[in-house]
Amino acid sequence: MQETAISNPSIVLESVAEAIIRAEKIEKYYAQPSDNRIQVISPTDLSIVPGEIVALLGPSGSGKSTMLRMLSGLSTPSAGRVFWHGRPIAEAEINVSIVFQSFALFPWLTVLENVAAPLQARGVDPADRRERSLNMLDMVGLDGFEAAYPKELSGGMRQRVGFARALVVEPEVLFMDEPFSALDVLTAENLRSELLELWAKKTMPTKAVFLVTHNIEEAVLLADRIIVLGRNPGHIRTDFRVPLPQPRDRKTEAFTQLVDYIYKVLTRPDVEPAEVPGPRIRDQRQMRYQMLPHARPGGIAGLLELLLDKAGRDDIYRLADDLAFEIDDLFPIVEAAQLLGFLKIEEGDAVITPAGEEYANSEILRQKELFRDAALSNILLLRQIRRALETKSDHTVAADFFLDMLDEQFSEEECERQMETAIAWGRYAELFGYDSGRRRFVMPDSQDEEISSGEGAQ
Ligand code: ADP
Ligand code: MG
């Protein structure tokens, strides 16, 4: 299993090709009126090499935009250095473009003038400007709209203008900061595949693309390499090559496996990321127990009820905002609901399933039943505990028995946490009770159980 795993991918990556942009120990901090400063990015090495689409993923506030601005020369690091083809970026003649989420078009200019603007800034003569801009509009599917003003266009078309304006200067590196997040799902999907097509056909001379996104599926769909940022302060959690051929199909197992992997990295900020799942590295023993996200059943119910209120679907980051939750706190709840089959993730949206809808609409006792059924069919550990209790004549079983199996897969600390979560879920669903004095699982109606089930019911 070890041979095909990428255990330290960043080392592999740096040696692949000569970097276009290379950052050495770059940091960003902001001074404070008091003495202490706010560190936004801790010292980070990162290179952008020709031939790849790099996606930078991370929770909001982790410093993705800050990183993009430093790499693209838009802002200067507080410490460390950035090189463009080996020369300090401030002294080099760099050729990059940036596409932002908000289209940032000039409202008083026509589509054609907007696209031509950067050429004008570079001193290209008017005839050339016009020709190159028209070609570019053609390429992004906007011919016929040359004379229109931004306000006359839909969001998707405005972003097409944004792309045309970025590409018209034939940038060597194209930077994009959440370019699809302001668009509706279909428009975004459309634009993504068109961009991929342009890239794959080498229609644009661009050598590398650096995409900032918080959408995991988007990263797995587009990127050759994915970097995941953690926050407080921003740092690289993992950096790996996407082991899937293009074009990619969201429905394949390899695709969903990689999406799950990244979710795990994002939901467990305190745990060293495991190896990247590759097509052949799936090991039965390794996959045996799902990692139970540390979420309370009450939290899962709350999330599902909120989703139902929002017509069954909402962007995860918006949900976090609405709840005034840190995204890292919301992720485990989302993941738990997903594991139980109560919701799905599509395009960065949490979408309630029919089972989730039934759960959210039921009263408490029925909810427990539904949770119990979902847990038994989806979660191996809970199923095993329950079955052991049913099988044994005294209807109790030692927790250590399960810890021994879990510790083949998880660290000691994580085993304890897995056990805590399993106990909370099992109690809530009345699958079993737990006698913490004797460290034994017991049947739920048993007299042996400690009277302390409040934990599971919050
Ligand atoms: P992301 O794009 O991942 O959401 P950003 O790069 O925009 O994150 O921001 C990273 C962090 O830097 C945030 O916590 C933000 O509050 C902080 N930050 C950005 N600009 C400043 C500033 N001028 N002063 C202090 N903190 C800032
Ligand atoms: Mg940002």
- Identify the residue with better confidence: 64 or 417: 64
Q: Note the pLDDT of residue 117.
A: 96
- Closest listed ligand to the CA of 66: 1
pLDDT tens, residue by residue, 413-422: 888 989 999 9
Residue 40 CA to ligand 1 centre (angstroms): 6
Ligand 1, residue 28: give the atom nearest the CA. Answer: 12
Higher-confidence position of 211 and 457: 211
Over range 71-84, report the average pLDDT.
97
Ligand 1 lined by 101 (C-beta under 6 Å): no
Checking if the pLDDT of 284 tops 60, the result is no
Query: Which pLDDT score is estimated for 18?
Result: 85
Is 181 a pocket residue for ligand 1 (Cβ < 6 Å)?
no
Q: What is the pLDDT of residue 35?
A: 75
Residue 317 is predicted with a pLDDT of 82
Instruction: State the angle between helix axes of 155-167 and 126-139 in degrees (0 to 180), rounded to the nearest 10.
Output: 130
Q: What is the pLDDT of residues 139-177, one digit of tens each?
A: 898 999 999 999 999 999 999 999 999 999 999 999 999
Report the mean per-residue pLDDT for the chain. Answer: 87
Question: Atom 26, ligand 1: which residue's CA is nearest?
Answer: 30
Burial 389-412 (b: 16+ CB within 10 A, else e): beeeeebbbebeebbeebeebbee
What's the pLDDT at 11? 40
- The answer, as to whether pTM is greater than 0.85, is no
For residue 67, the model assigns a pLDDT of 98
- Give the model confidence (pLDDT) of 124-137 as tens digits: 999 999 999 999 99
- What percent of the chain has a predicted confidence (pLDDT) above 70? 91
| Residue 39 confidence (pLDDT) above 90 | yes
Residue 276 has pLDDT above 60, yes or no: yes
Could you read off the pLDDT of 285-296 as tens digits, one per residue?
344 677 888 899
Split at pLDDT 50, 70, 90, the class of 278 is: low
Top mutation candidate among 37, 38, 40 for ligand 1, by most atoms within 8 Å of CB: 40
CB-CB contact of 222 with 246 (8 Å): no
Contact call for residues 273 and 236 (beta carbons, < 8 A): no
Give the list of residues 6+ apart from residue 3 with CB closer than 8 angstroms, or none: none
Q: Quick one: pLDDT at residue 316? A: 84
Q: Which of 29-33, 205-209, 269-273, 390-394 has the lowest mean pLDDT?
A: 269-273
pLDDT per residue as tens digits for the range 333-390 = 998 999 899 998 877 788 999 999 999 999 999 999 999 999 998 898 999 899 889 8
- Contacting residues for 320 by C-beta, under 8 A, at least 6 apart: 326, 327, 329, 330
Pairing relation of β-strands 208-213 and 173-177? Answer: parallel
Say how many Å lie between the CA of residue 445 and the centre of ligand 1: 52
Least confident of 16-25, 161-170, 178-187: 16-25
pLDDT tens, position by position, 206-249? 999 999 999 999 999 999 999 999 988 999 999 999 989 888 99
Site to probe by mutation for ligand 1, drawn from 66, 70, 178, 210 as the one with most ligand atoms within 8 Å of Cβ, is 66
Residue 281 has a pLDDT of: 35
Q: Are 89 and 72 in contact (CB under 8 A)?
A: no
174 near 199, Cβ under 8 Å? no
Which of 118, 81, 120 is CA-nearest to residue 98? Answer: 118
Cα–Cα dist 8/17, whole Å:
17
Confidence bin at 393 (pLDDT 50/70/90): confident
Which pLDDT value is given to residue 103? 74
What percent of the chain stands above pLDDT 90?
Answer: 60
Contact (Cβ atoms closer than 8 angstroms) between residue 227 and residue 57: yes
Confidence label for 453 from pLDDT (cuts 50, 70 and 90): very low
Average the pLDDT over 307-316 and give the result: 90
Ligand 1 and 63: CB distance under 6 A: yes
At residue 417, φ and ψ (nearest 5 deg) are: -70, -40
Q: Does 30 sit in the ligand 1 pocket, CB within 6 Å?
A: yes
How is residue 79 written in tokens? 């410490």
pLDDT value for 3? 35
Q: Is the pLDDT score of 10 beyond 90?
A: no
Look at residue 195 and tell me whether its pLDDT is greater than 50: yes
Asked if pLDDT for residue 81 goes beyond 80, the answer is yes
Q: Which residue has the higher pLDDT, 271 or 56?
A: 56
Nearest one of 410, 456, 416 to 432, comparing CA atoms: 456
Look at residue 14 and tell me whether its pLDDT is greater than 70.
no
**What is the rounded CA–CA span in Å between residue 200 and residue 210?**
15
